Amino acid sequence: MAGKPLQIVPPVPGAAEIYDLGRGPETTSQRVKRLQEEARILAREEIERLDRELRRLADQARAIAEGGEAYPAGIRELAGRIGVDTAQRAEILRALLDRAS
């Protein structure tokens, strides 16, 4: 039973460079630069994940704050403050990330 044939996919513009082991030995400085770039890419991915989670948390808190009598009054008030504060923090985080790129 034969599988689906593999296809060569052209590189995506703006995507991170993939290290080609066939290029020959890397100098120490080349390796350091490559690893630093990989670290920056991973850090950005982690920050973007935090941004998404903060926004999701802000939405959830706002839903509780607007949930009416199903939620106790003190919890609704606290959730409202959390929703506003978390949304503001997410905006600051996004602005800093955009400025860094």
Contacts for 8 with CB less than 8 Å, ≥ 6 apart: none
94 inside domain? yes
* Cα 100 to the center of its chain, rounded Å: 14
73 within some domain? yes
Show the 3-state SS of 18-72: CCCHHHCCCCHHHHHHHHHHHHHHHHHHHHHHHHHHHHHHHHHHHHHHCCHHHCC
Tell me whether residue 16 is in a domain.
no
Cα 83 from chain centre: 20
Q: Which domain holds residue 87?
A: 48-101
Prediction pTM value: 0.68
Is 92 part of any domain?
A: yes
pLDDT of residue 10: 75
Average pLDDT taken over every residue of the chain: 88
pLDDT of residue 4 exceeding 70: yes
- Give mean pLDDT, residues 34-56: 95
Instruction: Judge whether 41 lies within some domain.
Output: no
Kindly report, residue by residue over 23-41, the tens digit of the pLDDT: 678 899 999 999 999 999 9
The tally of domains found in the chain comes to: 1
